[in-house]
Amino acid sequence: MKKKTILAAIGISLVTSVLTIFGYQYFNSSDFYIYDNSKVPIVTTSSTSPGSMGYIDFSEAAESTVPAVVHISTIVEGRKVVARDPFNPFGGPGRVYKMPNQVGSGSGVIISKDGYIVTNNHVIQGASKVQVTFNNRDVQIAEVIGTDASMDLALLKIKGDNYPYLSFGDSDALKLGQWVLAVGFPLNLETTVTAGIVSAKARSIGINQRNSQNAIESFIQTDAAVNPGNSGGALIDAAGNLVGINTAIASPTGAYAGYSYAIPSNLVLKAVQDLKNYGTVQRGYLGVELVDLDKINPNHIEQLGLTEEEFKHSKGVLLHNIISGGAADKAGLKKGDFVIGVNNAEVFSSPQLMEKIAQLSPGDKVKITYMRKNKKHETTMQLQGEEELIALARKQRNSKQQNMYAEGKESVNFKSLGIDVAELDKKDLAKMNLSSGVIIKNIQNGIIQSYTNIKPGFIIYSINEMDIKNTDDLKKAIEKSPNSLSIAGTYPNTSGMYYYNIQI
């Protein structure tokens, strides 16, 4: 009886299973998918070719990189401060206190067997002592060879020879979607390797502008996990070549949130060579101000010297201003031209253009392809050095401030002050959000030159709290208080207000 029951149960189970399978396949809709394992290609995981269809094995690249990436610790000496002694009723010198030392950390990459190390400037900035710890926990004290705040790079040197090091790869050859590894010491952990892809190139995030007026940003953007402590570490390709120096992350919390940024290796290599040879980066300049197309207000295209048709079909990077006597000016470029190529390489944004030029030095010749009036042109120019360009820019700015307003208007000489001034009309004043003022066109020997650092282009809008609307007002103000002047004014295109008190 028991055997019959068991056999009946087994029979029912078999029939139920068959009906279940048949019913599933019969009633199955498109919302379901039957995974057919026989149709899935089987591949090995030993492939290291980034372009292969199989999986990429990063183990060889990681193993060769880890010994060449170091942990950097810094000490910034605490400032000495003088505090008044509360127990000394007669005042006198206070007690001297020393603020606590500040300790920082980051990563670095050995780039030569004789011990040169590249890292970020912000990792070692202000440090009185820089310590390097290797993956095997050996420790060395490093010397700072040079720094470059505009790209946030620093070059260090340790004593010794035959160190493991990384070879530079070609960052220009990186492609979107290409696999990369980030190697460093995040969150004070031991050496850590993370993987991701190149998600964008030539990114500018404005971080270097905090420390440099000539900031250069053309970051490689990846989704390899990078956290505090990774700064100065290596970004490598699947072959183990150094293609970038990890520098920053985009994060609302301060921790990794999906995007990290690295300085391209081609920029790093140029900076390293200059820091080794000169102690500073020798950078070439075009002598232009750039504007990206996506930042141009269509309502202002006429002010840029463009027609609506030209703007509609434009591409590349707009030359918003040309420094008189600069490299671009000498090569025939003009305000309103669009640069679309550098040495036969296309450029679509100012970070791209800056990256190409930043790899060159003063005196280097470069071929520029540009659009003017919807026609393509080419020219060759010789790049200038920073000091020469600054001098030209200062000269142009001073000249522009003198002539920007009150052009063609008669100036009046005030011998007592040693200045020539001209009146401003309502249109000129409105541009500067002023209701009154006269502009200094020229300065000779006199009170202004002797007692102030006022430059031509300065707009006087008040003397002794009296509004200066014209030259007659200026004359009356001087006559009323010839021995004491309180001058208030500003310069065109600036938001600062300046005040000078003169006792004659």
Of the candidates 73, 107, 171, 231, the residue annotated as catalytic is 231
* 231 among known catalytic residues: yes
Residue 154's CB: how many other CB atoms inside 10 A?
Answer: 31
Per annotation, catalytic residue among 71, 73, 107, 122: 122
Q: Is 132 helix (H, G, I), strand (E, B) or coil?
A: strand
Cα 316 from Cα 325, distance rounded (Å): 23
What is the residue-wise DSSP string for 434-500? -S--EEEEEE-SSHHHHH----TT-EEEEETTEE--SHHHHHHHHHH-TTEEEEEEE-TT----EEE
The CA–CA distances, whole Å, from 83 to 78, 79, 93, 100, 311 equal: 15, 13, 8, 16, 62
Question: % helix / strand / coil in the chain, to the nearest 5?
Answer: 25, 30, 45
List CB contacts of 62: < 8 A, sequence separation 6 or more.
Answer: 181, 183, 193
Burial class (CB in 10 A: 0-12, 13-18, 19+), 52: exposed
Instruction: Name residues whose C-beta falls within 8 Å of residue 276's C-beta, 6 or more positions apart in sequence.
Output: 116, 145, 146, 155
Terminal C-alpha separation, the chain: 129
What does the DSSP assignment read for 176-193?
TT-EEEEEE-GGG-S-EE
Instruction: Pick the catalytic residue from 107, 148, 150, 152.
Output: 152
Rounded CA-CA distance 261/222 in Å is 6
Catalytic residues: 122, 152, 231
